[in-house]
């Protein structure tokens, strides 16, 4: 597999990830309140800007299609586009994509986009930190790095079964 093709696929995969997050938020951070820390959520509830049930419904309405679309994209990239049918190479490609997505989410989405865009500021919560600190990002992404080791095996198994 040519390295430039893998890089292109990683860029497209992360672009899909970003597009889906943007579609979830639209132009109102309240649409993605489930991404925020609990203190921000509690303040929003106190302010009456939304309620727990609405946030839970929006979370479910986003997360299920989000995960299914990313899973389908990953299966299609590995099994169809890259024409991989054996577990080992499927596993290493799945691991690469999942880890790049993991760190892309923590650094580009959480730290850069959320941390530097007014889109993510919810009026009335400006005094509450909502952008993850570097230690928080490293801890969360480190834990997810370990989880994706197992997740990649599941993806590879699906690739072998489907393709």
pLDDT at res. 55: 98
Give the pLDDT band (50/70/90) at residue 93.
Answer: very high
Across 64-83, average pLDDT: 98
Across 55-65, average pLDDT: 97
Across 134-154, average pLDDT: 98
pTM value is 0.94
Give the pLDDT band (50/70/90) at residue 1.
Answer: low
Domain assignments of the chain as residue spans, ordered by start:
3-162
Q: What is the rounded CA–CA span in Å between residue 76 and residue 159?
A: 8
pLDDT at res. 69: 98
Q: What is the CA radius of gyration of the chain?
A: 18
């Amino acid at each position: 597999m040519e390295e430039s093709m893998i890089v292109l696929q990683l860029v497209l995969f992360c672009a899909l990830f970003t597009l889906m997050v943007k579609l979830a938020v639209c132009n109102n951070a309240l649409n993605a309140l489930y991404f925020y820390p609990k203190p921000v959520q509690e303040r929003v509830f106190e302010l009456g800007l939304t309620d727990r049930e609405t946030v839970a419904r929006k979370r479910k309405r986003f997360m299920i299609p989000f995960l299914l679309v990313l899973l389908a994209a990953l299966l299609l990239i590995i099994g169809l586009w890259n024409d991989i049918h054996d577990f080992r190479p499927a596993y290493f490609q799945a691991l690469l994509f999942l880890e790049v997505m993991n760190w892309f989410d923590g650094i580009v989405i959480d730290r850069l986009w959320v941390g530097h865009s007014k889109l993510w500021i919810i009026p009335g919560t400006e005094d509450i930190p909502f952008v993850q600190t570097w230690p928080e990002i490293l801890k969360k992404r480190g834990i997810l790095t370990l989880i994706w080791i197992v997740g990649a095996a599941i993806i590879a198994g699906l690739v072998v079964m489907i393709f």
